[in-house]
Amino acid sequence: MKFLVTGGRGFIGSHFVELVLQKGHQVVDIDFMTYASNKKLPWDSNPNYEFIRDDISKIKHLPPCDIIVNFAAESHVDNSINSSEIFFESNTKGVYNILELLRGKVYSRPLFVHISTDEVYGDIRDANFTEEDKLNPGNPYSASKAAAEMYVLAYNKTYNIDYLITRSSNNYGERQYLEKLVPQIIHCLKNNKKIPIHGDGSYIRDWIYVKDNVEAIYHLINIGAKNETFNISANNHMTNLEVVEEISKWYKIENYLDKINFVQNRMGQDIRYSIDCTKLKKTGWQPKFTKGIHKF
């Protein structure tokens, strides 16, 4: 198969590109090369890999392909609170532009795989969101992703554009940009700096190793899933403090609380994210890492 991947130089996108290249597929990668993009990657000279630097909100043409997988997005919630316009441009308008280009393809339309987030549901205290629950985004980032999903559904109904939407829980792993929690903790511990933690550190997220996430996406494509939405998670809930404690053990640090600088909560702080991925597991996929933060 030939994949058109957007945002393939970013964190999750680069792991997906790596996986499909290993599987022998061709990849055309469109990436705007923002601050979080990887300037060099091990497969840059792979003959099955082609890189195009462009902005998905402004591209005028889609290269021929069998599958489009849209990872391109601004994703840091704090940045969306401080400056939301770029999130609308990339996360919402970018998807709209791709859909418009797909609408113009009368023959051999590729499947559009849109990568979303568990944050579109908002927070939940005691239960787990399923794919049937309503979206209730709580910050400009998640609102821009939820709006993009609405465009995908509308273009499916109006123009018969086939889609697949995945909503994953918090990803971590290699090549993640420093602003995110796990790489921030690692950086601070390695450099004897205080780790900034919002509030009292009690906020809960469901953590999934990035390679589990991209393997789930590839699995869904392989089984021919379309015109459906799937949650991807590992049922691996941890408070931010527990994440700090876990990673501190990698470096044999016992008094992890001494390494923390508790900072002011972000505006609109969500308490707990949790999604149920029973629907996905019924297709035969299982995460490999389901306890704690897998050392990488």
**Options 29, 74, 119, 206, the catalytic residue:** 119
Residue 160 belongs to a domain: yes
Flag whether 185 is in a domain.
no
- 119 carries an active-site annotation: yes
Say whether 152 sits in a helix, a strand or coil.
Answer: helix
For the cut 80, the answer to whether the pLDDT of residue 22 exceeds it is yes
Is 118 one of the catalytic residues?
A: yes
Q: How do residues 267-288 score in pLDDT, each as one tens digit?
A: 888 899 999 999 999 999 999 9
If you average pLDDT over every residue of the chain, what do you get?
96
Q: Examine residue 182 and state whether it is found in any structural domain, yes or no.
A: no
- What proportion of the chain, given as a percentage, has pLDDT over 90? 94
- Residue 90 pLDDT exceeds 80: yes
Range of 106's domain?
2-172+208-236+274-281
In a domain, 97, yes or no: yes
**8 near 71, Cβ under 8 Å?**
yes
Residue 190 lies in a domain: no
| DSSP E strand boundaries for 118-213 | 163-168, 170-172, 195-198, 204-209
The amino acid that residue 117 corresponds to is T
* Dist CA 7 CA 115 (whole Å): 11
In a domain, 107, yes or no: yes
Between CA 288 and CA 55 the distance in angstroms is: 34
Q: What's the number of CA atoms in the CB half-sphere (13 Å) around residue 256?
A: 19
Count: domains in the chain: 1
**What whole-number distance in Å separates Cα of residue 13 and Cα of residue 197?**
27
93-138 confidence digits (pLDDT tens) = 999 999 999 999 877 899 999 999 999 999 999 999 999 999 999 9
Residue 259: inside a domain: no
Average the pLDDT over 56-71 and give the result.
Answer: 97
Query: Parallel, antiparallel, or unpaired for β 111-117 and 163-168?
Result: parallel
Percent of the chain exceeding pLDDT 70 equals 100
Of the candidates 31, 55, 74, 118, the residue annotated as catalytic is 118
pLDDT value, residue 113: 98
The CB-side HSE value for 196 (13 A sphere, CA atoms) comes to: 8
Q: What is the CATH number of the domain that holds 125?
A: 3.40.50.720
Question: In this structure, how many other beta carbons lie within 10 angstroms of the beta carbon of residue 246?
Answer: 19
More confident residue, 106 or 145: 145
Is the per-residue pLDDT at 222 higher than 80?
yes
Residue 73 lies in a domain: yes
